[in-house]
């Protein structure tokens, strides 16, 4: 047995990294990098498992006006909060782009018409769905991904017996 080798306690090998220019923990990595646009520094925030940073922003210079200010727990936690918010807003925007809805009246009932776009590199499409006031699906058809859902287009679809619009 080699006495130079020490056994790691459980969890020690995945302990958070806390260095001046690199912090890891809570599912995130903060990396202070040279700012390519000027002579300063930037910080890039990566969510674990993601190849691209969720956030890149300017980073404060240290007292020597050459090197970056070291990362610390408060800065890291603030960066996590900011990067998480950026991701949340991006997801909300993507959801809004892919899911549209409108409400129309038909024969005395309120119908909710939804358009759910299914992005695909080869064959993007959308599902146009009609749901009644009780939540029952009345119809669903496949339409082009660029179909424009408006109260008028929804009304026309209903009037045409829920046949797929051309």
What are the domain boundaries of the chain? 12-71, 98-159
pLDDT in tens, 72-98: 999 999 999 999 999 999 999 999 999
pLDDT in tens, 110-131: 999 999 999 988 999 999 999 9
Give the least confident one: 33-37, 103-107, 161-165. Answer: 33-37
**Model confidence pTM above 0.85:** no
Amino acid 65: pLDDT: 85
- DSSP code string of the chain: --TT--PPPTTGGGPPPB-SSEEEETTEEEEEEE-SSSSSEEEEEEETT-SS-SEEEEE-B-TTSSSBPPP-HHHHHHHHHHHHHHHHHHHHHHHHHHEEEEEEEETTEEEEEEEEEE--SS--EEEEEEE-TTS-EEEEEEEETT----HHHHHHHHHTTTPPP-
pLDDT in tens, 6-60: 343 434 456 678 999 999 999 999 999 998 777 789 999 999 999 999 999 999 9
């Amino acid at each position: 047995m080699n006495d130079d080798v020490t056994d790691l306690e459980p969890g020690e090998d995945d302990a958070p990294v806390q260095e001046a220019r690199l912090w890891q923990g809570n599912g995130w990595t903060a990396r202070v990098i040279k700012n390519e646009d000027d002579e300063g520094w930037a910080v890039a925030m990566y969510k674990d498992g993601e190849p691209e940073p969720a956030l890149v922003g300017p980073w404060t210079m240290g007292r020597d006006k050459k090197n970056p200010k070291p990362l610390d727990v408060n800065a890291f936690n603030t960066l996590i909060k900011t990067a998480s918010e950026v991701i949340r807003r991006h997801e909300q925007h993507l959801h809004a782009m892919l899911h549209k809805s409108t409400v129309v009246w038909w024969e005395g009932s309120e119908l909710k018409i939804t358009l759910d776009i299914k992005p695909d590199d080869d064959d993007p499409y959308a599902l146009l769905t009609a749901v009644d006031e009780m939540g029952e699906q009345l119809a669903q058809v496949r339409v082009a991904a660029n179909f424009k859902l408006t109260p008028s287009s929804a009304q026309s679809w209903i009037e045409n017996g829920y046949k797929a619009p051309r």
